A and B are shown apart, each in its own frame.
Chain A
Amino acid sequence: MKDSIAIYLMGILLISIFALSLRGLPGNPSMSELNTLAWKNNGPFESSPERGRFALLYSFIEDGSLHFSLDVAKFALPDLAISSSGEYVSLFAPGISFLVMPGYVAGKFFGAAQVGVFAVVVCFAILNFLLIRAISLHIGARRWSATLGALTFLFATPAFAYGVNLYQHHISVFLLLLSVFLLLKYSGYWSLAVVWFSCAVSVAIDNPNIFLMTPVAMYSLLQAWKLFRTALSRRSIGVFFGKILLAVTTTVPVILLFLLYNFLAYGSAFQLPGTLPSISVIDHDGRPIVEPVSGSMLSENTLNSSESNNEKTAIGFFETRNLYNGFYEHFLSADRGILFFSPVIVLGIFGFFVLYKTRPEIVSFLTAIMGMNILLYSMWGDPYGGWAFGSRYLIPTYAVLAIGMSVGLSQSWKKHALFFMLFIPLFLYSAWVNTLGAITSSANPPKAQVLFLEKQSGHEEKYTFMRNWEFLQGRYESVQSKAFVYQAFLKDTVNASQYFAFVYELIVLSAALCFAGMYREKQFSRIFPHNKD
């Protein structure tokens, strides 16, 4: 089989897998429809972060307002804020809601508005696949190894479950990877301009990205310094400052739009949504009830309510006291830990060991990104990510580890047999787990809430991915898979388990295709730094 055919086949497989996994329901629902169980708990808007972001989009397009009507506010609960003028507003950074608007418009045209919105996230997931592959190739990974590394990120980590719904993670990762790619591959002014633009946009996508993008910003400053040195030697300092200024100005429109949004929505340009008083309940008369929520971690933003609303600060959400528990949750816990949800991605570390010998500066840069991501969300008061599937906050880390994975997979099979022997079963296991999450639900409770839930439901409540397995068997909800294709076309033809098995088989087939490609490349040696695609 020729490589080009294999690549086309891979593309088709990728798109097919996402098309089959994308969550949704047909139709262009009104807000009163959206407020029903069919669209919320049993449908695509199962978690409040999705609803909160969709609410802003809906309000902006359908009502022409950044302030929520009562129906929209009820839809967004419990992640709802109230502005200083007493109006309901979104508790989330607005970036995603605006970014996915074309999807809403296009989807509405075809009679599936919500699917159009979610499809935008799928596009970013596929772009992330391409970027991981491109970065891996740039640093010396072989072509099919890089493809398999990227595939691992996409389908064998919780990134899969968050690529088929409306969360910020894939868009944040896209901006991060794009910046990394540009910084590693290019060293000109235009690449710096794009990087700084990405940094600015990322904050509008998710406020904590200001920390996540810090290593990128620092690395870009280092590049700017190198450009300065070059300009100094060429006696062109004026040109340097002119171009740098131009590069910096790319961030200005984003910052101005962000400030304008804050001003229009919250009444102050410098008010961040997370620092607003949050509303967890609206009473029968439509009045907000501002009440502190105990540390029950219902969602990523309930933490906001656990402190006095008057004392909220942007950095107050992160406490070093949480680190130890955060590490445990992200890495070892059964309800969220990488060890249970995506052990295969840990093998990416091996690639960094290999890369450290030849390109330590790149390892340093990528380690900084991972370190910042892990530390930031381990300090976060709710490391569980609310009701979530796996450790969703570490999706940027999975992406970086996938780059390491690509490098690891480029090594000699004979010399590193153990690595490959571990990779295959761990990939199969991780892909199985994460396909479960993507096909069923991303709303698993943290272990801390299970006893409470069991009291309410009167039966055992699972909190690991086995909850998704039971979901697939129809234990928890009336629907067994939330995938759009299944719901719209196939639920009367095949059962959810068969549907799941089919998607999983496509993923395994994709991985097998990569292995076949790797075999063809006969890569039995160490990395070739100048290997290009």
Chain B
Amino acid sequence: MQDYLKPKMGIVRNTLIFMQEVFESRGHWIVGIVLTLVSIFMFFYYLQNGLGLAYNDARSHLDIGRRVVEGLNTGFAQLGSVWLPLTHLLMGLTIWNDFMWHSGLAGSLQSMIAFVATGVLIYLFLLELGVGIFGRVTGVALFAVNLNILYLQSTAMTELMLLGTMTAGAYHLLRWFRTENVLYMVYAAFFIMLSTLVRYDGWFMFFFVAILIVIFMWKKYSYIRAEGVVILFCTLSGLGVALWLLWNAVIFRDPLYFAFGPYSAHAQQAQLNQAGVLPSKGDWLFSLKMYMYAMAYNVGAFTMILGAVGAIALWLNKRVSASMRLASIALIAPFLFNVLALYFGHSVLYIQGISGDTWFNVRYGIMMMPSIAIFVGYLMDFLKPLRVTIAGLLIFVSFFSLSSGDAVTIDDARVGSSQKNVTEVSGWLREHAARVPGFVLISAASHDSIIFSSGLPMKKFIHEGAGPYYDAAISNPDHWARWIVVRSNSDDDSTWRLLKDNPGFRYYELVDHYPFADIYQLKQEYMSSLITEPILKKIW
């Protein structure tokens, strides 16, 4: 090398070494900062293009959170039984603010934090496995450039929170299996407990990890010790499950109300089964095929295949300790859960092209994203001579993914069964009911997205959760409801079911008719007896 170039090359080399050292010691912080910026940018990106709340479920989640703090009958009972409560509880911190509610930020905020946390956890998980910086960064990058993840972290859905808590649980389990420091078991149990309060996938994770612990302790020590440890683990990680059963018992007089109640997934799936549109039930191969498709569309088919190869490489690599390989099996819990749920008919998933021309719940495929990112990160380290090639091919595919805006979750939200165009109904309410006194009687279970999209305050609505107001309105609608929003002739709509034979319903006239709901308004001659103020609260 020419002498005069040597000092400059030396500076470059030293700078690179310094940067590498900084990344080695502060990598997780750098990842956290970068992901935070990405997270904020993507939230505003989806907010401004109107996709932020495309999922009806996102609006329902926000309404549940809002009802806890605002409405005719506020309180924790509004958390209901349909969905697990953690995300709604966390919304309570900010959802009292109208901007936070209607922008969806109250719900997205926790998803955004979970997004950053999951990215950092992927980094740390790979670090724990002894993966070099290239593999670690690849794992995080795969997770962070996935458009489905970026969309779900920008909306008020529960998936990212689940991914965050489950990945944290798996990470601490790995640390515990490696070090046998009981503190990590407590951490693992804590995060798995949180995951059981987000989605039911967390419940499976809880049982699955408990089995892994039994295997680990029994094989290494004895049955007695395994029994002791697993009881300790379950005491903490099962707390969420126990509290939820208790909650259902206290509020709904049935500890299994969430599972078999009228609004439960089980009830929905029973209807689908009756209609013959639950083909995965009882069919292993079809369940597996559907979930594989969902994974391929969410995670990316190439990434998924690499992840599978990475998982095999990890589990067969005898240079990785057996305990760590065992702990890493926890990463496949979401896969097993979803296939089992489809097989037993507890879950439904429609893929366009296989289930007709629609999507439904295809986002469930995203549950394996952190796991696959970890497996691919590991593979990068395992196949060091090929890592530039693999990285190049991943960049190539990601380029096309980003350039074609390939986010199946957005399709799921926009054109699938998850969406309903309720803008006409909610627009009517906003236009005619905003400045006129009086309540709207509506079923939140059927029309939560209308409530949200109307932009009216929650206290304007009398719904199933409004307690005495709802009971009173169902008995004497003409005294309480100026407007009634129902899906006429559909007994799935509880308000219609309860009102259709009520004599008071005759005092209403149909003022508008839309595909998803009709709007009835109290006739002018009966207005004199209408109550337009929330007086029951004062009486009580």
Contacts and interface: CB of A to CB of B under 8 A. Distances in A.
Contacts of A360: 385-386
Interface string A354-395: 001000110111011001100100110000000000000000
A378 B301 CA distance: 10
Given A315-B400, A327-B305, A368-B393, A320 B388 contact: no
Contact of A364 (B1, B296, B388): B388
Given A321-B406, A324-B293, A356-B385, A372 B393 contact: yes
Contact of A375 (B5, B296, B388, B393): B393
A375 B396 contact: yes
Contacts, number: 70
Contacts of B74: none
A316 B401 CA distance: 11
A322 to B, nearest CB: 9
B296 to A, nearest CB: 4
A324 B301 contact: yes
Interface residues of B, number: 25
Nearest to B353: A325
Majority SS at the chain B contact face: helix
B392 A368 contact: yes
A319 B305 contact: no
B520 interface: no
Given A235-B2, A375-B397, A323 B300 contact: yes
A233 B301 contact: no
A218 interface: yes
Nearest to B295: A324
Contacts of A356: 385
Interface string B278-294: 00000000000000010
Contacts of A324: 293, 296-297, 301
Given A321-B408, A323-B301, A371-B393, A363 B386 contact: yes
The residue among A218, A232, A324 with the most chain B CB atoms within 10 A of its own CB is A324
B404 interface: yes
Majority SS at the chain A contact face: helix
Interface string A304-325: 0000000000011011110110
Interface in B388-418: 388-390, 392-393, 396-397, 400-401, 403-404, 406, 408
Interface residues of A, number: 30
A363 B383 CA distance: 11
B410 to A, nearest CB: 12
The residue among A215, A365, A375 with the most chain B CB atoms within 10 A of its own CB is A375
Nearest to B386: A364
B489 to A, nearest CB: 37
A444 B486 CA distance: 55
A253 B404 CA distance: 33
B404 A319 contact: yes
A378 B390 CA distance: 17
B223 interface: no
Contacts of B400: 315, 318-320, 379
A364 B396 CA distance: 16
A78 B385 CA distance: 46
A115 B435 CA distance: 83
Contacts of B296: 323-324
A304 to B, nearest CB: 16
Given A321-B408, A324-B296, A375-B393, A315 B403 contact: yes
Interface in B299-330: 300-302, 305
Contacts of A315: 400, 403
A327 B293 CA distance: 12
Nearest to B403: A315
A232 B301 contact: no
Nearest to B293: A324
Contacts of A235: 2
A39 B404 CA distance: 40
B397 A321 contact: no
A102 B427 CA distance: 70
Contacts of A326: 301
Nearest to B352: A321
B145 to A, nearest CB: 12
Interface in A130-182: none
Contacts of B406: 319-321
Nearest to B399: A315
A144 to B, nearest CB: 29
A320 B397 contact: yes
Contact of A327 (B301, B396, B401, B403): B301
The residue among B5, B300, B386, B388 with the most chain A CB atoms within 10 A of its own CB is B386
A307 to B, nearest CB: 12
Given A320-B397, A323-B397, 16 more contacts: A215-B389, A320-B301, A321-B404, A323-B302, A324-B293, A327-B301, A327-B305, A363-B385, A363-B386, A367-B386, A368-B393, A371-B389, A375-B302, A375-B397, A378-B301, A379-B397
Shortest Cβ-Cβ A-B pairs, 4 listed:
A360-B385, A323-B301, A324-B296, A324-B301
28 contacts: A215-B392, A232-B1, A232-B5, A233-B2, A318-B400, A319-B406, A320-B301, A320-B397, A320-B400, A320-B401, A321-B406, A321-B408, A323-B296, A323-B302, A324-B293, A324-B296, A327-B305, A364-B388, A364-B389, A367-B386, A368-B389, A368-B392, A371-B390, A372-B396, A375-B302, A375-B393, A378-B301, A379-B397
Interface of B: 1-2, 5, 293, 296-297, 300-302, 305, 385-386, 388-390, 392-393, 396-397, 400-401, 403-404, 406, 408
